[in-house]
Amino acid sequence: ALVAAGLPLHKALAADKIVLGFAQVGAESEWRAANTQSVKDSAKEAGIELKFADAQQKQENQIKAIRAFIAQKVDVIAFSPVVATGFGPVLREAKAAKIPVILSDRSVDEKDDSLWVSFMGSDFTEEGRRAGRWLVEKMKGSKDTVNIVELQGTTGSAPAIERKKGFEEIISADPKFKIIRSQTGDFTRAKGKEVMEAFLKAEGKKINVLYAHNDDMAIGAIQAIEEAGLKPAKDITIISIDGVKGAFEAMMAGKLNVSVECSPLLGPQLMQAVKDLKAGKTIPKRIVTQEGVFPMEVAAKEFPNRKY
Ligand code: AHR
């Protein structure tokens, strides 16, 4: 239509180009690296121009990036909120500028849901429940107290809040399960190791189970457990979330008991949503990723099928 309107072809093509501004959390985990790759690859494949900002796990950087996207008048903004609260003002600025916002991977804690057109990603509460159900099943038949230490994700982030909630919802049905320590490891290996060292120092052999909100923290903690002279997955049962390759390797090495899947491969559906929005279509308000649970017994068989 633009060519017909008299614009030279190269200008018409440029005018038709869709520009997506994506404000990423950071590079805190194997999961995040796979998510970034998925977004970049699928933007390229879809012919969408991607403006990518890495917030380095800081909300203020993410807000700055979103403001810059608004000033640049991108077609669509997508982001994965570092934390759940505090995004109201910048979301209202995007709405006032008539730029649709897609929440990718993580949600925000805002009452006015007209501030985003869609939220695509996992059901983190259900992931926490899956982790809890696996533990209840594993410990059934024993009346002994089960002392659990918990490595939480980034404080105030949707996955940390919801994975804690879902897990507690399940284990609270039986008083034998006790969370004796719970602290953030910020979703990183280094912090996971550091905090696990502190847990071991304080509680030692009392610890029966580690529940880590992601694989990276579990992998860091495994190192701490080995350095303390204990056997991961034997002396301490270890449950984590994501299902990244590193977790499968740990399971195949007999050091991690189970990983609850959380898929980072959100790029293709994000690009489809961006295209649909540009074409004036309505997209679903919530798109939930379908995921499974992988105990160590199936790790070797599943490993070749893993894409991240
Ligand atoms: O928001 C998804 C979470 O963020 C992943 O589980 C974790 O690994 C990442 O850093």
pLDDT band of residue 208 (cuts 50, 70, 90) is: very high
The ipTM, to two decimals, is 0.99
Q: pTM score, two decimals?
A: 0.94
* DSSP designation for 173: T
Please state, for a pLDDT cut of 70, what percent of the chain lies above it: 95
- The mean per-residue pLDDT over the stretch 79-101 comes to 98
User: Ligand 1: which of 24, 32, 108, 188 to mutate, judged by most atoms within 8 Å of the beta carbon?
Assistant: 32
241 ligand 1 Cβ < 6 A = yes
If you take atom 3 of ligand 1, which residue's CA is the nearest one?
Answer: 159
Q: Which of 289, 296, 292 is nearest to 264 (CA)?
A: 289
How confident is the model at residue 268, as a pLDDT?
97
185 C-alpha to center of ligand 1: Å? 12
Beta-bridge partners for 202: none
Closest atom, ligand 1, to C-alpha of 216: 8
Q: Within its chain, how far is the Cα of 42 from the centroid?
A: 18
Beta-bridge partners for 242: 261
177 ligand 1 Cβ < 6 A = no
Q: pLDDT tens, 99-140?
A: 999 999 999 999 999 999 999 999 999 999 999 999 999 999
Closest atom, ligand 1, to C-alpha of 80: 1
How confident is the model at residue 183, as a pLDDT?
98
Q: Within its chain, how far is the Cα of 99 from the centroid?
A: 24
Extract the tokens encoding 67: 């403001």
Helix (H, G, I), strand (E, B) or coil at 8: coil
How confident is the model at residue 3, as a pLDDT?
47
Q: pLDDT tens, 1-59?
A: 444 445 555 544 455 799 999 999 999 999 999 999 999 999 999 999 999 999 999 99
DSSP letters spanning 248-294: HHHHHTT---EEEE-----HHHHHHHHHHHHTT----SEEEPP--EE
Half-sphere exposure of 6 (CA within 13 A, CB side): 0
187 C-alpha to center of ligand 1: Å? 7
C-beta separation of 39 from 266 below 8 A: yes
Q: pLDDT tens, 167-206?
A: 999 999 999 999 999 999 999 999 999 999 999 999 999 9
34 ligand 1 Cβ < 6 A = no
147 ligand 1 Cβ < 6 A = no
